[in-house]
Amino acid sequence: MNRKLRLRAFAKANLSLNIVGKDATTGLHEIDSVMMSLDKFDTVTVTERDDDRINVRFLNADIGEDNTALRAALAVKENIGGVDIEIEKGIPIGAGLGGSSADGAAVLRALDVLYKLPERGVDMRKVALSVGSDVPFMLSGGLARVRGTGDDMFFIENKLQLFIVGLMSDSVFTARAYADFDKLYAERSYCPTDTDKLCAALLDGENSALEFFDNALYRPAVMQSSAIERNASLLRSHGAVTCMTGSGGMVLGYFTDLEKFAACAHALRSADGFCVFAPAKTGVLHEWLNK
């Protein structure tokens, strides 16, 4: 009987996102961001086949053949056999929560467990980066400062307890958000927050960390969805410190006070796109269904 794995691929939030320029070789935007895993997840099931075919199927979403899960499998195709990959989406699509990257990370983790890829000469971090700039972080998860094009990660111990409410607006297209960013900021860099101070405050467990939550892609995202700005204002009216994650369209509201968080969650529980999140400690978890 063929081996089978089931994985939970966790979402992420950007507590901060500065854009510091562009890579001269690739043309990709370089970032300086603090990323944190969240407890929403996609469920990815990977089953060995008796041939060398790679099949990807989404159970509850209409996602085409150009997807990160397939790209992840193809990136190591020479080192694996055939597999069937089934994905049940639990992370909202187009939210900036890293759902696509999470799927790619889960597939790489599954194939590593099945085929021991480093023993076959595969550099997992290099392959992950080739699949997507967020994939290296999504593989590890937790809390990290991520710089460059996703290749420079410094993991942080977070001593600040955070309670999180989210409101989802319309989906935002990442490529368009970055293109609009370039139109808005001629120097192609914008750093609305101090990442050094944010990391120091998180390490010390200081509430002042929330003062440094900000996102350079906020204005470009609002150009696609004005609901982002309305949701941010609504969350702030209930006492939250807000920060859009990724390129949107999820706006997250952060609290350090449990009672204020509970009051906000109760008041907005019927709002469109309402979610509650908690920090997660890892990016991908796996279990054997058949070994």
* Residues taking part in catalysis: 12, 134
Residue-level length of the chain: 291
* Residue owning tokens 């939250």: 240
Q: Peptide bond before 249: cis, by omega within 30 degrees of 0? A: yes
Angle at 40 between CA 273 and CA 232, to 5 degrees: 35
Instruction: Determine the Cα angle at 115 with ends 41 and 82, to 5°.
Output: 80
Q: How far is CA 220 from CA 173, 180, 182, 211, in A?
A: 10, 5, 9, 21
Report the number of secondary-structure helices (H) and strands (E) in the chain.
9, 12
What does the block give as tokens for 139?
A: 């593989």
Is there a contact between 272 and 225 (Cβ–Cβ < 8 Å)?
A: no
